[in-house]
Structure 1
Amino acid sequence: MVRFKNRWLLLELLSGNEHGIPELSGKQVFDALRQSVITHFGDVGWGSVGASMSVKYFSPTTNLCIIRVARDPYRVAWGATTLLTSIEGHPVIPNVVHVSGTIKHAQLAAIEHNRLIVARFRAKAKTPAAYQDSYEQYLEKSTAEIDALQD
């Protein structure tokens, strides 16, 4: 029996303007990625990644997303993410942070990147390092959600 081999893309969506990104859902991100694949790679591109591509995790707080796609056509999905310009009419700048062959490494990279983003939020707010805020609860919750992901 041959197992299905995947690639895992850790994607961060940055705001394309000063207004920020409105709260999105994983379905909206998936629909935008699907449209990007169809626009830039046509029906053949969508046929190669369509059956295997899925958004396994999306955080509206940090706009961090984990995408699963088959190993062979993962470059089509990667290309479509980098060519993504807007979601629901709001400009975005996609940043592929990490590409992994296993979900475990994608989880570890996502947890580390979430901590980095929260540190950026705290630095922007100029809070001391030992300050207890709602981000502490968010980090605990998001770490549990990411750890619970299954292949």
Structure 2
Amino acid sequence: MVALKNRYLVMEVFCEGEGPVLSQSSIANAIRDSILHNFGELGLAASLPSLQVKYVNPATKLCVIRCSRAEYEKIWCAITFITNINNCPLFFNLLDLSDAVAWINFL
């Protein structure tokens, strides 16, 4: 059996003003739309199998995104192009890049 090699991106979300509450589905949809817009259908098809928003905390504005090791740079690039979610201006800041959930202890 082959072990899947994943990366976990710990991102901080900076929202300007009091916007709608961030959820896993809204962040995942924004990432998918950004990948489709910037890398096309081939880029989206390559990154979708392992792409998952694992954790979102609206109070601390942290989220953890799982992706494959081969596609993490593409997903990270697509995240930097996201400028708003649900008409709320925001941007992402990468806090940590890890290869295992066990290394993400500060959540």
Q: What TM-score comes out, normalization by structure 2 length?
A: 0.93
State the 1:61 CA deviation: 0.9
1:56–1:68 contact (8 Å) kept in structure 2: yes
Seq. identity, %: 34
> How far apart, CA to CA, are the structure 2 residues paired with 1:63 and 1:34?
20
Instruction: List per-residue Cα deviations over 1:64-107 (Å, max 9, x = no partner).
Output: 100000111111111111111111111111111111111111x2
Alignment RMSD, CA only?
Answer: 1.1
Select the structure of larger CA radius of gyration.
1
Query: Which 4+ runs in 1 deviate beyond 3 A?
Result: none
- Separation in 1 of the partners of 2:93 and 2:69? 20
Residue 51 of structure 1 and its aligned partner are, at CA, apart by 1.1
- Counterpart CA distance in 2 for 1:62 and 1:94 is 13
Aligned to 2:75: 77
Match of 2:44 in 1: 46
* Bigger relative contact order (CA 8 A; separation at least 6): 2
- Tell me the residue number matched to 1:10: 10
How many residue pairs were aligned? 107
Q: Which residue of 2 aligns with 1:57?
A: 55
Residues in 2 aligned to 1:88 and 1:55: alpha-carbon distance in whole angstroms: 17
**Using the alignment, how far apart are the partners of 1:73 and 1:102 within structure 2?**
16
Write the distance in 2 (CA, Å) between the matches of 1:89 and 1:13: 15
Report the structure, 1 or 2, having the larger helix content.
Answer: 1
CA distance in 2 between counterparts of 1:96 and 1:84 reads 13
Q: Quick check: 2:10–2:96 contact (8 Å CA) kept in 1?
A: yes
Structure 2 unaligned regions, length at least 5:
none
